[in-house]
Amino acid sequence: MRKDALIRSVFLAVVLLSSAFAAVVETDAAIEQDKIITFASAILATFLFVTCAVAYHRNKHKRLLFVTIAFLIYAIKGFLVSSELFIPEMEWVDPVSSYLDFAILLSFFAGIMKK
């Protein structure tokens, strides 16, 4: 029962936050805020990458290897996208980000399908 309540709470929080972010008018400050959140996500992905890498080093499960790679690619993508905070707009970031999204999904898929 507690797990069901937790899932409902997380779902409600995501719905409320997404509608709040959708209501924000796109200004320069909103764009910067988006990149700051992306930077925080990249830091979290780096932490998850290190955690998964340690777990893989201990267990040597192939599934963990694919999840570790996915978190590494996600961290790289996050730092790449948020680098526009420090470096002026780079045209090649968006296409590379899309390719990295595809690689992340493939890595998670391989981790799920691996026996």
Asked if 101 contacts 77 with a C-beta cutoff of 8 angstroms, the reply is yes
Q: What is the pLDDT of residue 48?
A: 93
pLDDT score, position 98: 92
Residues in Cβ contact with 100 at an 8 Å cutoff, skipping those fewer than 6 apart? 73, 74, 76, 77, 80
Would the pTM count as exceeding 0.75? no
Q: Which residues of the chain have pLDDT under 50?
A: 20, 23-25
